[in-house]
Amino acid sequence: MFVRSFQLADYKAVTELFEEVLSESCYEETMKAFARQLKWDGELVLVAEVNSEIAGIIIGTIDNNKGYYYRIAVSKEHRGIGIGKALIEGMRSKFVSRKVSKILVSADQHNEQVLPLYESLGYQAGDFWRSLRPLSIVTG
């Protein structure tokens, strides 16, 4: 497994991965946020490769000096082998290198099922950021 920054050549594989694992409403919301984040700071979009195939993606953002894990997705056939953890750790490293003051997990109705993954890595309830509206992905 190899975690790296998103490249334009990954676009088709990433959109297919999102279609595979996200609900329709989550897909629409995520694709908008994905496009905005690529426009503002593509370095905060990471993919995981297994045998040269995109197996996972994480979208992060920085807003007001806080780093947010926005969305993570791992293909169904590649779950359970540490891809999610590797993506989270890769994004954490990006946040740390940019000296964010706090790292938060964007928690919404679409990703409640992955919150235990973050908890297994030491994140606690106080690290989950909940909002009734989608996170406006910006960098700063």
Q: Which residues face 66 on adjacent strands? A: 63, 102
Where do the domains of the chain lie, and which CATH numbers do they carry?
Answer: 2-130 (3.40.630.30)
Q: What is the pLDDT of residue 85?
A: 96
Q: What is the pLDDT of residue 131?
A: 57
Between helix 11-21 and helix 24-41 the angle, nearest 10°, is 150
Q: Where do the DSSP E strands lie in the chain?
A: 2-5, 45-50, 53-63, 66-74, 102-107, 128-130
CB distance 104 to 94 below 8 Å: no
pLDDT in tens, the chain (140 residues): 999 999 999 999 999 999 999 999 889 999 999 999 999 999 999 999 999 999 999 999 999 999 999 999 999 999 999 999 999 999 999 999 999 999 999 877 676 778 888 888 888 877 887 654 444 544 44
Rounded-to-integer distance, Cα 88 and Cα 15, Å: 19
Q: What is the pLDDT of residue 95?
A: 97
